[in-house]
Amino acid sequence: MLDNEEFMRDASPRELTQNPLRKIWMPCKNGHIAQRRVCMTNCPTLIVTVGLPARGKTYISKKLTRYLNWIGVPTKEFNVGQYRRECVKIYKSFEFFSPDNEEGLKIRRHCAMAALNDVRQYLSVEGGQVAVFDATNTTRERRETIVKFAEQNGFKVFFVESVCEDPDVIAQNIVQVKLGSPDYIHCNTEEAIEDFMKRIKCYESSYQPLDENLDRDLSFIKIMDVGRRYLVNRVDHMQSRIVYYLMNIHITPRSIYLCRHGESDLNIKGRIGGDSGLSARGKEFARSLRKYIQDQKIKDLKVWTSQMKRTIQTAECLGVPYEQWKSLNEIDAGVCEEMMYEEIQEHYPLEFALRDQDKYRYRYPKGESYEDLVQRLEPVIMELERQENILVICHQAVMRCLLAYFLDKTADELPYLKCPLHTVLKLTPLAYGCKVESIYLGVDAVNTHRDRPECSVCTSLLKQAWQTSLIHSFSSYRTENIKKSRYVEESPIKSPPASDL
C-alpha cells in the first residue's frame, strides 16, 4: 500500500483516480490508491477544563466530545475523577481533597499524570485528533505542567474555564449530577450535599482563575455564569469552532420533537428521494400530528421543515407558523433518485454493493453521502442547541443524522438508526445524555428501513458487482475497438455521402 511519503519522493506530477466509494479524486501510482488519513486539525489539540467542582465542566466535556465526534473529528474525554475512583476504590469524605492531605495530593497528582499518559497514547499513537482533559486544574502550577506536557508532545492546548457564582445553579448541578456519583452511592441526600459543599471549599482556597493579563499567551475561553458572558483569547480555526459551539449551548429545560413527513406517494411505490406529495395515509398522519401537538400544550413551540413538498404539506396541517430549511432536505441520491433499491442493484450493481459496504461514507454518483449530510446539518445543530421547544419535520436520513448527534451514536451506527414513518421521537436533554420517548400516532405506513446486511453478504455482493462491472467494461471496450477497426478498414475505399460533400 502506498503512502504520501512515497509519493513525495517522486518529483513528477501524480496521477489521480476517483475513489469508487466516496467519489473523491485521490493520488495513485501503478494502479494503487494512496491511503490518506483525513485530518480536520493541523496538529492534535488538548482541551483542558478549568474550574471549581459543580461548575459544569464534565457537562461541557461530554457535549464537546459528542459534537466533535459527530462532525468527524476523533475525540475522547479523559475524566481525572474516574481515574481517582479506580485508584481509590472507596471514597470516605471531603477530607481526601483537603490541601493539607499530603497522601491525597500525591494520589491526585498520580491520577492526573496517568490520564495525561493516556492522552499521549490516544493523540500520538491511536490516531485521535482532540483529547478533552476533564479536571479542576484550578492552580497555575497544574496548568503550566499541562502546557509543558503538550509542548513536549507537539500538542496545542486550549483551556475552557467555567466560572459560576450563582448559588441556585450550583445547587441544581449538585442535586442533578453529583448525588448520582459513585462517591455518594451509600449516602443520603443531606449527607452527600453537605460533604460536596465542603469539597468545594477545599478547592476555593487555592483556586487561581485564568487571567487575561497573566495568561495572555494562552488560548482559552472563559464562560461566566452559564453563558451570560464570555472571554475568548488567542484561538485558531478549530478552537474558534469549539468557541462558537460553546457559545450556543444552554441548560434551559426543553424538549426537541423529531418526526418524518407523512407517508408519500413515492414511499408507497418503494422509490427513494424525489419530491412527491403525501399519500392518503400521510395526510391522515398530518392531522394526527396536529392533535398530538395540541394535546401536549407545548410552550412557545417552533416548527421547522425542509423545503420539500411532503414536509411542507405535513406542517401545513398543523395550523401554526413554520420555518423552511434547505439544509433539512433529504439526502441527494444523485443518479439513483426515484429508483427502487432493486432497480439500483440491477442497473448499478457496484454502487449498490459499495453502499452496503460503508453506508456512512458512500456517496451516490452526482449525489451525497451521510458524511456530506452531517456537514450540511451542522448549522441546524447549532441553531437547535440555541432553541428551546421545537418540532423538526424532516426525512429519514436527516432524522438519523440529528438523532445520532443527540444520542452520541457512531458513524457506523448512524445510517441504520430506526426512524419509522408516523412516529414522533421526543428528546429531552439531560445533564450527561438525552432521554428518548417514541410516540406512534396510530396511522399505518410502509416500512422504509433497510437492515444492515451481513458482512459475508456484503463481500459476496461486492465481488459479484466487480465481476459484472469488469465484464461490462471489457464488453464495451471490445465493441468500441471492433467499431474502430471496421472504420479504419472501410474508410479508405468508401466514398462519403453526397450530403457530406
Q: What is the phi/psi pair of residue 81, to 5°?
A: -60, -35
Take residue 201 and report the three cell numbers written for it: 471549599
Q: Which residue in 111, 164, 336, 419 is the catalytic one?
A: 164
| Residue of 261, 263, 394, 419 marked catalytic | 261
User: How many secondary structure helices (H) and strands (E) does the chain include?
Assistant: 16, 15
Active site residue 261: yes
Catalytic residue among 77, 263, 284, 330: 330
- For cell 455518594, what's the residue? 184
Mark whether 295 is an active-site residue: no
Active-site residue identified among 77, 111, 134, 385 = 134
First-last CA distance in the chain: 56
C-alpha torsion sign, points 78, 81, 84, 85: negative
| Element housing 233 (H / E) | strand 229-233
Which residues, 6+ apart, have CB-to-CB distance to 26 below 8 Å? 16, 17, 18, 19, 33, 34, 36
Judge whether 15 and 28 are in contact, CB under 8 Å: yes
- To the query of whether residue 134 is one of the catalytic residues in this protein, the response is yes
d(CA 204, CA 215): 20
Active-site residue flag, 217: no
* Spatial strand order in the sheet of 25-29: 15-18, 25-29, 32-33
Angle of helix 237-246 relative to helix 370-386, nearest 10 degrees, comes to: 50
Largest interatomic CA distance in the chain:
107
The Cα–Cα gap between 162 and 169 comes to: 12
- Cα separation values, 81 from 102, 170, 232, 378, Å: 18, 18, 27, 31
In angstroms, the CA 10 to CA 181 distance is: 57
Helices 396-407, 370-386: crossing angle, 10 deg rounding: 60
> Which of 62, 70, 1, 56 lies closest to 402 in space, CA to CA?
70
Q: Give the three-state DSSP class for 462.
A: helix
Catalytic (active-site) positions:
134, 164, 261, 330
